[in-house]
Amino acid sequence: MTLDRRSGVFLHLTSLPGRHGIGDLGAGARTFLDFLDRADQSLWQVCPVGPTSGAYGHSPYGSDSAFAGNPLLVDLDDLADRGYLDDDAVEPPEWTDPHQVDYERVAPFKRERLREAFENFEAVASTDARESFAAFRERESEWLADYALFSALKDAHDGAPWTDWPAELADRDPDALDTAREEHADEIDYRAFVQWVFDEQWAALRDAAAEHGVELVGDVPIYVAADSADVWADPDVFELDDDGSPTAVAGVPPNAGDSGQRWGNPVYDWGTLRETEYDWWVRRVEHLLSRVDLARIDHFKAFDEFWAIPAEADEPAAGEWREGPGAEFFEVVRERVGELPFLVEDLGFLDESMVALRDRFEFPGMYVPQYADWCAEWDRYKPTNYPGNAVAYTSTHDTDTAVGYYERLGDEQRDCLHYALATDGEGIAWDLVEAVWYSDAALALTTVQDLLELGSDARFNTPGTAEGNWRWRVASGALDDDVADRLADLTDIALR
């Protein structure tokens, strides 16, 4: 894939300003596009946009669907404009925090209003709106029907995992599913309605981005949650036992200084997928690329080989490396989908076979200066060493902010960083932005936290921790014209 030199900003949608306690697809997103336009940026990267829940700490990487959109991102003001909510329903609640998402309050608040909007839609929707909804359900039926039924059944069983449902439902007995569709028809319609609204609002946002000359960069988590519509609807795609539980789960092996990670997601049955010409994955990629212009593949290493941990084992060290689908997978997907505009997360596993797979398809890998050994004469993560076919970040959703990283550096590394960047560290966030922008990497990205020179209290996620993540928000007005103009000036000099 040939890349033109471009730059942009990484900010997940939940972190936008918004009237209802969480960033959404509404006015805050449009204001951010205005900022990107003034700042002369052409990329906006976000985390996955699937449904989130308290079961996974509202992590965008722990969703019950690889296809559906997150209901919490739906813009309620748009629903009021359509006549599906009255003005009182969309008044901002008093508890909204401009700096944090309070999911415990946001989730019930928005879901209550989404149900009200659905009821009003059924009562007052125009013929055109009803036809649009029906057309959406037909177009997206391949995933939507299963997702809506899964969500309805999960609600009917008080949120219990699908493996704990009655056997006839867990095993997808056709007669039992037909009965369930009749019994839960209204709930299924509601779930489909929310997805239709999300789809329409997303399409409008993408059109607005294009008008601003901004491309959207999405994210592909390689694995899905065990308790998801994906695993329930397509169990043959995964390594499961007779009751639907994983026989092996995903993770990473121990490295120097850590004991590895056990993520708990079921691993894929790549043999079965190969027999179907990777159909499930093809559909997933097609759906994603209908929403975004570029996509980051999370944990790219697993397409080369993946760490499989026996489901009954608690320790990651009990796992083993297994062969992934390799080049054949991407060749098949490219043949069926077309160009693969992928960026790949290749951090931490730079072995020969993975690099060969990445380079065979010319996928740009990730470079983050926070992983640099600043005192080494040559280190791949020092910005002066970045290759052209690369995507470089000042920080990511999984790292500390630039300021927080700098404050944690040891004295020797800090002195070496000062020398490498010719800085005294007083404006370290922008020093790193400049270093990434002046590197040879084709794509240069920073975060809003780094543009605002924020410390560790603005960190978005700390891997391996379960509390306090995915909640940070940027306050309205923080991204002012001075910040935009500074970034535009740098972009004009460094990337043109």
Catalytic residues: 298, 345, 398
Cβ 231 vs Cβ 244: under 8 Å? yes
The amino acid at 286: E
The amino acid at 160: A
Q: If 0-12 CB within 10 Å is exposed, 13-18 middle and 19+ buried, where does residue 456 land?
A: middle
Give the tokens for residue 122.
Answer: 């059924």
Q: How far is Cα 131 from Cα 125, in angstroms, rounded to an integer?
A: 10
Q: How far is Cα 400 from Cα 432, in angstroms, rounded to an integer?
A: 13
Q: How far is Cα 61 from Cα 230, in angstroms, rounded to an integer?
A: 14
* Residue found by looking up tokens 């290759």 in the block: 387
3-state secondary structure 312-355: CCCCHHHCEEEECCHHHHHHHHHHHHCCCCEEECCCCCCCHHHH
Helix (H) or strand (E) holding 343: strand 342-344
* Residue found by looking up tokens 């709930």 in the block: 187
Q: Which residues of 224-250 are buried (b: 16+ CB within 10 A; e: fewer)?
A: bbbbbbbbbbbbebbbbeeebebbbbb
Q: What is the CA radius of gyration of the chain?
A: 23
The amino acid at 211: E
Cβ 169 vs Cβ 177: under 8 Å? yes
Q: How far is Cα 171 from Cα 168, in angstroms, rounded to an integer?
A: 5
Cβ 471 vs Cβ 417: under 8 Å? no
Q: How far is Cα 146 from Cα 29, in angstroms, rounded to an integer?
A: 30
Q: In sequence order, what are the beta bridge partners of 294? A: 217
For strand 215-220 and strand 390-393, is the pairing parallel, antiparallel, or unpaired?
unpaired
Collapsing DSSP to helix, strand or coil, 283 comes out as: helix
